[in-house]
Structure 1
Amino acid sequence: MNYLAHIFLSGDNRKIQIGNFVGDAVKGHAYKKFSPDFRKGILLHRAIDDYTDHHPLVREAIELSRGEFGRYAGVITDIFFDYFLATGFRRYTGKSLRRFAFGFYASLIVNYRYLPERFKGFLWHFILTNRLVKYASLAGIRRSLEIMVEYKNLGVDPDKAIGFLAANRVQLQGIFERFFPDVQEMSRVKLNENMIIN
């Protein structure tokens, strides 16, 4: 899952959302330096990644794109899934994507001092380009892919990825629609558990 899904799956607690958002940048036991709600978000991020990596529907989507994108198929699948979530956000979540995104941006600014340095470096660009809402358009996900090619050395042609999505949209979206309720339920259970955060 990519940024939008990780944030949404965190429930309504802003610090848990932020912890989940920055989860990739917090390695090993470094999460212990954060306050309990941030820690819970970071651990939830890890749980979502592990669950997603082992889910047969996600593996089906990755296999569908592996022939085109090789070892980057998982990254591409994450982006496609955020696109499907964004385009149907109200249907999947009962919420307005724009309102959800702007509420999250505000919480990032309020909690700026707690963010890992890696996230501070691109935070303003992320907010000012309205990245979460832009996931709802093909142009927006193309731009996200271009950023990843430039800054994360993603070995994928963004135009080729958009073409692949257009050609396989029905199948990929069907996989997402079957998978998303499963990861929602897993996340809900995790949020209600007393996850080890010490």
Structure 2
Amino acid sequence: MNYFAHLHIASLTSTSWVGNLLGDFPVDANRLDSDLLLGWRLHQKVDVMVDKHEASLLFRAMERKGRRRFAGIVQDITMDYWLIQNWPQFSSVPLDVFCEQAVAGLVKDKSRSPERLRNMISSLEHDNWLSNLGTLDGVDRAIRSIMHRWKHGAHLQGFIDDLPNVVAQAEAPFLALYPDLLDYVEQEMKKAEATHSLG
């Protein structure tokens, strides 16, 4: 899952907005404040569950132009697309209201964020582009952003070249996976409440 899904999970679990994004940024977990650490740990558990889910395995195995070994990166971004497309199914909060809440929550802990995340939060303060992740243009921009900062980014070009098809391929896996993920998160939070730790 990418940024939007992790923010949705943060809202459902009343855990740190920033903490739930930190799994995608370089941090020393041993130095995190307890609330950020809780979100970071939840992010890690979510990523592992998603990677192992049969719907993810199916998506990564599909025939397409993009190289199979990098399909998981693109899956994360397309999952955000389909979450936004199906938003009323997963939240009673209007999409624009949620996006405002998410940015406000991120800004609150901006000073405790690593530099690249602080820059992203600043970008969202200037122009709240979260809902744009639910458009083909938003998916394109997200993939190109990874391409520009990752040394192996050129290998994602095949997904860009076949983007409408790639996004369409992700719909069924998302619908199969996301309800299971939310159930998993609920169970993990119940364990955390019982043990006061996700570790």
TM-score after normalising by structure 1: 0.85
Q: Do residues 176 (structure 1) and 179 (structure 2) align?
A: no
Partner of 2:165: 164
1:163 positional shift: 3.2
1:130 maps to a residue whose letter is: N
Aligned to 1:192: 190
* Runs of at least 5 residues in structure 2 that lack an aligned partner in the other structure: none
Identity %: 21
Partner SS for 2:16: helix
Letter in 1 for 2:177: F
Compute the RMSD of aligned alpha carbons: 2.3
Aligned to 2:22: 22
> Deviations 1:121-149 (Å, cap 9, x if unpaired)?
33222443423211111111111122222
Contact 2:61 2:68 in 1 (8 A): no
How many pairs are equivalent?
193
Q: Deviation at 1:185?
A: 0.6
Tell which deviates more after alignment, 16-25 or 62-71: 62-71
Scaled by the length of structure 2, the TM-score of the pair is 0.85
1:76 and 1:161 in contact (8 A); partners too: no
CA–CA distance in structure 1, aligned partners of residues 115 and 136 of structure 2: 29
Provide, for residues 131-186 of structure 1, a one-character-per-residue CA deviation record: whole Å limited to 9, x for no partner.
321111111111112222222342222641423336xx1x5312211111100011
> How has the CA–CA distance of structure 1 residues 14 and 65 changed in structure 2, closer, same or farther, with 3 Å as cutoff?
farther
Contact 1:18–1:38 at 8 Å: present in 2 too?
Answer: yes
Instruction: Check conservation: 1:66, 1:73, Cα contact below 8 A.
Output: no
Counterpart for residue 130 of structure 1 = 128
For the Cα contact (< 8 Å) 1:32–1:197, is it kept in 2? Answer: no
- In structure 2, distance between residues paired with 1:107 and 1:46: 20
Partner residue of 2:106 out of 105, 108, 117:
108
Quote the Cα distance in structure 2 between the aligned partners of 1:148 and 1:161: 17
Match of 1:145 among 140, 143, 146: 143
Give structure 1 stretches of 5+ with no counterpart.
none
Question: How far is 1:72 from its partner?
Answer: 1.5
Instruction: Name the residue aligned to 1:47.
Output: 45
1:44 offset after TM fit, Å? 0.2
Of 95-104 and 66-75, the range deviating more from structure 2: 66-75
